[in-house]
Structures are given as structure tokens and as C-alpha cells.
Amino acid sequence: MNLLCWNCRGLGNQSTEQELGDIIQAQDPSVVFLAETWLDKARLEDIRIRLNFGGMIEVCRDTRGGGIVIFWRKEVDFSLGTFSPNHIDGVLNKGKEDEWRFTGFYGESETSNHYLSWACLRRLRGRNSIPWLCAGDFNEIARSHEKLGGRQRPARQMEEFRDVLDECGFRDLGFTGGKFTWCNGHPDGFTIWERLDRAVATMEWLDKFPATKVIHLEYGSSDHKPILICLKGIPKIRQKPWRFEHMWLEEEGCRDTVETAWLFNAPGQAMTRVEGKISHFQTQLKWWSRVVIGNITRLLMEKKSC
């Protein structure tokens, strides 16, 4: 089983939804936790159906900058426990010998409100004692080396985060891939990188799934990287290599799609921005090519019916 956690920074635009679809197609997660969806229940339900998930629990905010949701596959036995604007907590295989707990977490973005996030985790700790996995955007770093650029994080602030992780019995699951999961996107000299997104678990959970690996995925439509939690270790790559088709140049709209995609303001330093632009360009061109192929197929069907 794989789980995906991502602060997607809004699912209301075409490129982000398309990128989410590409991740799911490539990684096949059974459970998906998304933060900052910026959508209401009706829009999220449409996305659930399009992505072929069987269940959904959402917590929507009135303001634009919030909203969290969990999707899960039809074959997954997920039972909701509690929820708030900062978390969705549930049990997989409830009442069975192999039951365990998953919490999708979204920490308060304002430093002055971090105490609310940590109080939430402490309340969740007391709910039960089954193996527990918690993952998402905690909006805080645990050590100074998890930040590059900008002002140094106050030691007390990081210590408070470490304290609550210790109180909950959590161990960091580590990661494969780039070290940082968030970037402020400012130009050279003002760029800040931080590891705000992570997966943590109790020793009971680690004993249950000792092969677990966490991967920081590289995608460009959000300022946060998606994190993939692989319970059976790093999976084989299912995604076919992406290739530009020369015949697309003859199709109307290809050039405009490329030029518009290249204007995307990717975060980071020079080479990182280029990589982000290329990733965004690929996402947009994939979407455009599917539309073109769909239109061609429709026209052929209409001619055949005539």
C-alpha cells in the first residue's frame, strides 16, 4: 500500500488537478491526503469520481486558503475517527488483527498559532494505542539543518515541535529525494527552503511496517513537494517515459500551449526554476495532447457513423 500526502495549494486550477492525476497514475496510492484544497465538497466529490476513489472525507474552510480531504480506494477499509481544520484521523481495518491508525495533518501556518497544532496532536495521542502513522504539512521544522536561507529559526520554536513528537511517541520515517519540501519561490538571494512536510509514526507502527520508505516527489504546480509513503518499500516505476511528439507541431494550439507554459513562475534558484518550468511544460502539454487526441477520436467516430 502507498499513501500520498500533499499541500497542493489549490485544486481549482487545471494544471494542479492534472498533476495530481499524473502522480496517482504513476504511484497508485490507496489513500491520499491533501491540504489547502481551496474547494467545496461538491468540487471535491467531482475530483474523487474522476480519480476513481471509493471514499472521501473533507473539511472545508470558509476562507480561500484552507481545506483538507482524504480519498481512499474502494478496497481500503477506512473508518473515520475525528476531524478538524487541521487533521483527519481514522483507522484502517478497524476491529481486525491488522488494524492501524492514520492521521493526515495540516499545521497552522502562523507561528503564533502553532500551539493549536501541538494541542491537537496531544489530544489525538490519547484516543487509542494502536499503531499510528501521522503525515502531512506540519508547517514547522525540527532541526536547524532542515532550513536553508532566511533568518535562523528560534531554537525554542523547534524544541516545542520536537517535544510534541516525543510525547506522541513518534519517530521520523526519513525520506528519499531532495531534502527540502517547501520553497518560498523568491529570486536568488532571497530563496528559502524548508522541510515542512514529513511522515512520523510510533514504534508499534514501525514494527508492523519495517520496510516503509518515504519519497519526496518532484512536481512543480505547488510550493510544496508531495510525499509518498510506501509501506512495502520503494515501488517499481509504473510511469512510461514522457516524449514530445513531433507531429504535435502541426496541430493548432501546440505553440501557444508551450509558450504559455514556459511563462510559469517556478520557485527556487536558476536551475531549479528551469526544472520547474520543464515539469510545468510537460504537465500542460500532456493535458493539451489528451484534448487533441480526444477531439480526433470524436471526429473519426462521427465520420464512421455517417
pLDDT along the chain (306 residues), means of 10: 96 89 94 95 95 96 81 97 96 96 96 97 94 98 96 96 98 95 85 96 97 92 94 69 65 73 66 68 67 54 56
Per-residue pLDDT, 241:
58
pLDDT of residue 231: 96
Among residues 201, 236, 172, 220, the alpha carbon closest in space to that of 2 is found at: 236
Q: What is the pLDDT of residue 190?
A: 86
- Rounded to the nearest 10°, the torsion over CA 29, 164, 185, 9 is 50
Cell 461538491 -> residue: 42
pLDDT of residue 292: 57
Looking at residue 278, its pLDDT comes to 73
Question: Domain ranges in the chain?
Answer: 2-230, 246-305
Tell the burial category of 246 from Cβ atoms under 10 Å away from its Cβ (0-12, 13-18, 19+).
exposed
Burial (Cβ within 10 Å: 0-12, 13-18, ≥19) of residue 132: buried
CA distance 195 to 21: 24
pLDDT score for 158: 98
Domain 2-230 - what CATH class?
alpha beta
